[in-house]
Amino acid sequence: MKLEFGYGSDVQTVEVPAKNLLAVLESNPVAHEHRGEEAVRYALAHPIGAPLLRQRVKKGQKIAIVTSDISRPLPSYEVLPAVLDELYAGGVMARDITVVLALGSHRKHTEEEIKQLVGERCYGEVKCVDSDVDDCVHLGTTTAGTPVDITRTVAEADVRVCLGNIEFHYFAGYSGGAKAIMPGCSTPAAIQQNHRMMVSPDACAGKLEGNPVRADIEEAGAICGIDYIVNVVLDEHKKIVYAVAGDVTQAHRVGCAYLDEMYRKKLPQQADIVLVSQGGAPKDANLYQVQKALDNARHAVRDGGTMILIGACPEGLGSKKFEEWLTTAPSAHSMVERIARQFELGGHKAAAIGMVLDRAQIDLVSEMDEDFVRSIFLTPRPSAQAAFDAAMEKYGAEATVIAMPYGGATLPYID
């Protein structure tokens, strides 16, 4: 059977014997009733676990709307108009609303970027600012010892409305919900304390109950107080196909269930060989981006198996900190040990690769120099077919195979 995997602007093809192929993972067919801004307005008219947003607010209150920064795929410009209309319907004045772009550990935006993110209407009607790690209010400490230090505009608001998109997150379980507050509006010290728990076996994609990172995030959100959320689910083209609004936990869980319906893929067993790509450009511009597909695919490979990661990576690694961790580590596992005591953005993805290497080999098909690839603990291969042939030779004619052409979107699991 001939399989194709996006590779930059081209494809890599692999011939896999049908008898060896356990599954080809693509998104499940789901009939979406609402899309785009219509989906958001429908969600606001049918809130989960809460009254209408307009019934939760009143004239004179200071409102903070927390939304995603430029590193996230949330189309805030499609979500914010409906939220503003709800707030106005509740008597809130435009002068009392501030949209806060949650930076977490990321850089500040330019004014042009802020306008692009929130849209012309929102930018012209209400105040729009970045979160500020240098002006935070200490609200308490979680059970895990995470300081709840929240940017002042959000901490001192009368009502906090958190926006977000729900997708699988490789150690928080899912994005969305209280993540707008922690890490979105938190300090580096708080983020490090929370994210150091990513090494726990229970801190993984698709897991909510018992996930220490998610539990800490939601405890921080409860300490701060989140009055309402509006979260969306996106398709492979980053278009809104579903939305939820209402209670920070109840609405979020409904959104997570919808994401599962679209992208969770049940497997009969883990495979000896997993072929995975991000789907080509622009998602495989660098290894930092391609790592997301790798982390989803790790659930499909057996201990001692081989993952064939297919990504052009014309930009190389894609992050200075990521590069520093990978190129200075004495061993792959040392990065896992380091992240537990010293969380650093960029380093966390290097540690995630180290966690995969603890149990499986990673063959990389890319444009990067072969010696360099070896230096960062991966096995370079000239093509996906060559990588597959080498893996088949290693595991034998009866080797089992799983293919993930859109690895960043699909999450495999064993029942």
Among residues 123, 57, 54, the alpha carbon closest in space to that of 86 is found at 54
Q: How far apart are CA 208 and CA 411, in angstroms?
A: 14
- Cα separation, 252 vs 229, whole angstroms: 8
Which DSSP state fits 398? T
The answer to whether 42 and 71 have CB atoms below 8 angstroms apart is no
Per DSSP, the three-state class of 155 is helix
HSE-up (13 A, CA, CB side) for residue 100 = 29
Alpha helices for 90-211 (secondary structure H): 111-118, 120-125, 152-155, 188-195
Secondary structure (3-state) at 12: strand
The answer to whether the beta carbons of residues 149 and 131 sit under 8 Å apart is no
Place of tokens 């500040």: 108
Residue 246 — φ and ψ, nearest 5°? 125, -135
Task: Give yes or no for a contact between 211 and 179, defined as CB atoms under 8 angstroms apart.
Answer: no
**Helix H or strand E segment including 97:** strand 97-102
Cα angle 380, 381, 384 (rounded to 5 degrees) comes to: 135
Q: CB-hemisphere CA count at 13 Å for 240?
A: 24
Asked if residue 275 lies in contact with residue 390, where contact means CB atoms within 8 angstroms, the answer is no
200 Cβ contact list (under 8 Å, min separation 6)? 211, 212, 213
Q: Which amino acid is at 99?
A: V
- Angle, alpha carbons 279-405-364 (nearest 5°): 80
Whole-number Å distance between alpha carbons of 40 and 83: 8
- pLDDT given for residue 251 in this prediction: 98
Residue 241 and residue 264: Cα distance in Å, rounded? Answer: 16
Beta bridge partners of 128: 99
The SS3 call for residue 118 is helix
Helices of type H across 298-410? 320-328, 332-341, 347-357, 370-375, 384-395
In tens digits, the chain (415 residues) has pLDDT values of 999 999 999 999 999 999 999 999 988 889 999 999 999 999 999 999 999 999 999 999 999 999 998 877 899 999 999 999 999 999 999 999 999 999 987 788 899 999 999 999 999 999 999 999 899 999 999 999 999 999 999 999 999 999 999 999 989 999 999 999 999 999 988 988 898 898 899 999 999 999 999 999 999 999 999 999 999 999 877 899 999 999 999 999 999 999 999 999 999 899 999 999 998 887 898 999 899 899 999 999 999 999 999 999 999 998 899 999 999 999 999 999 998 888 887 898 999 999 999 999 999 999 999 999 999 999 999 999 999 999 999 999 999 999 999 898 889 998 7
Enter the DSSP assignment of 33. S
**Residue 326 in 3-state DSSP?**
helix
Which structural domains are found in the chain, ordered by start?
2-28+265-414 (3.90.226.30), 36-234 (3.40.50.11440)
Are 239 and 40 contacting, i.e. CB atoms less than 8 angstroms apart? no
Can you state the percent helix, strand and coil of the chain, rounding each to 5?
Answer: 35, 25, 35
pLDDT value at residue 198: 87
Q: What are phi and psi of 405, to 5 degrees?
A: -65, -25
Q: What Å distances lie between residue 256 and 106, 137, 207, 283, 380, CA to CA?
A: 25, 30, 10, 23, 36
